[in-house]
Structure 1
Amino acid sequence: MALVAPQARAWRTSRTPRTGTRARTVRTPGTATVLTGAGLVLLPWVVVLAKTMPQTAEVSNWSTAWIGLDLMLAAGLTGTGMLVRRRDPRASPVAAATAALLVMDAWFDVTTSAGTGGQGMALLLAAGAELPLAVACAVVAARRPR
């Protein structure tokens, strides 16, 4: 901590809701800068990918990738449901991650099925299941824990 600038070491104290004891956290503006910078650096990389990626590709372990994603979704949805039922405040971050996975799953299902006989089913599942579940998870994630 001695190498950190004084303004980056600003302490914020607050009382924890259950015990009433003081908790100390460190503000880290450097983290915000790194994350923002990483996001901005990705933008030119997306342009490079858009110009250089092939339109088709043969992929090994295709089924493993999709099965793994569906297992993560099953764990996220089940975990979110169990935590919500118990009114556990950890439901919020689990729900946020699950919402992101559901949106990603819908995106890849629809885009990888374009021009195939499975596109209708992919659109139906996205509109009827994945995106509504993502919205439900986002609502859970946005709630303030009590």
Structure 2
Amino acid sequence: MALIACNSPVSVRRLWQGRLLTGAGLALLPWLGFLAATLPPREAAAWVALDALEAACLLTAGARLARGTGGHRAPAAGAAVLGAADACMDLLTSAPGAEFATAAAMAVCAELPLAGLCAALAAQGVRAALDVRAAGDARRPAGRWARPASDVRCCRTALLLRCRGARQQPSRRLPR
């Protein structure tokens, strides 16, 4: 297992974050069965749907994060919102006493820290994208088409040059 972690392009930190999210999503699956069996049918439908969506988001984000394929930010954001909503609804719908204490302990120890991790993972990509956008052309690689727009006199010429891949003089007009 250490060889896989060292040879993979994914950092060890990302690998463990992905495993944590995947484990949390897998842990919700038996919980869905427990909720469906113990709650009244109307309440069970709502809670099972909320937790199933949360589990799907956690499993998707965790798998994508652990593999290092990208695309984990949207499901992580969904898991963060659903986890925070789940914690709030647990606290609001619990009866006073031991049930409320259990809901508060679950919210503080499990649901909200997991939602915070998911929010941080979702926001991390947004910060990187904003940094690239703020840098502007300084980070844009100089490639085949990286010449200034002032070199091209006619939009039609520029479009045809790009489509053909030809290196013609910009001042030369193509026949209409």
Shorter-chain TM-score tier:
0.5 to 0.7
Which residue of structure 2 lines up, in the alignment, with residue 103 of structure 1? 84
Q: CA deviation at 1:142?
A: 1.2
Cα distance in structure 1, aligned partners of 2:85 and 2:69:
26
- The aligned counterpart of 1:142 is 123
Secondary structure of residue in 2 paired with 1:118: helix
Distance 1:64 1:116 in 2: 25
**Percent of counterpart pairs with the same letter?**
35
What TM-score do the two structures reach when normalised by structure 1?
A: 0.55
Aligned partners of 1:125, 1:99: CA distance in 2, in Å? 15
The alpha-carbon deviation at position 65 of structure 1 amounts to 0.6
Q: Choose from 85, 99, 108 the match for 1:127.
A: 108
Given residue 78 of structure 1, which amino acid in structure 2 is its aligned partner? L
Corresponding residue of 2:47:
66
Contact conserved, 2:87 with 2:107, CA < 8 A, in 1? yes
Q: Identify the residue that residue 113 of structure 1 maps to in structure 2.
A: 94
**TM-score by structure 2 length?**
0.46
Q: Deviations over 1:86-110 (max 9, x none)?
A: 2233100110011000000000000
Question: What is residue 63 of structure 2 aligned with on the other side?
Answer: 82
Cα RMSD after superposing both structures: 1.9
Which 5+ residue runs of structure 1 have no aligned equivalent? 1-58
Where structure 2 has 5 or more consecutive residues not aligned to the other structure, the ranges are 1-39, 130-176
How many residues were matched structurally? 88
Answer 1 or 2: which has greater helix percent.
2
Measure, in 1, the Cα distance between the counterparts of 2:69 and 2:118: 14
Residues of 2 paired with 1:114 and 1:143: CA distance? 37
Paired with 2:48 and 2:77, the residues of 1 have a C-alpha distance of: 21
Which deviations, in whole Å up to 9, do the C-alpha atoms of 1:50-72 show, x marking residues without a partner?
A: xxxxxxxxx96111110111111
Bigger radius of gyration:
2
For the residue of structure 1 that corresponds to 2:68, the secondary structure is coil
The question of whether the paired residues in 1 share the 8 Å contact of 2:76 and 2:119 is answered with yes
Q: Greater CA deviation, 124-133 or 108-117? A: 108-117
Q: 2:98 & 2:106 partners in 1: Cα distance?
A: 14
Is the 8 Å Cα contact of residues 54 and 78 (structure 2) preserved in structure 1? no
Matched letter for residue 94 of structure 1: P
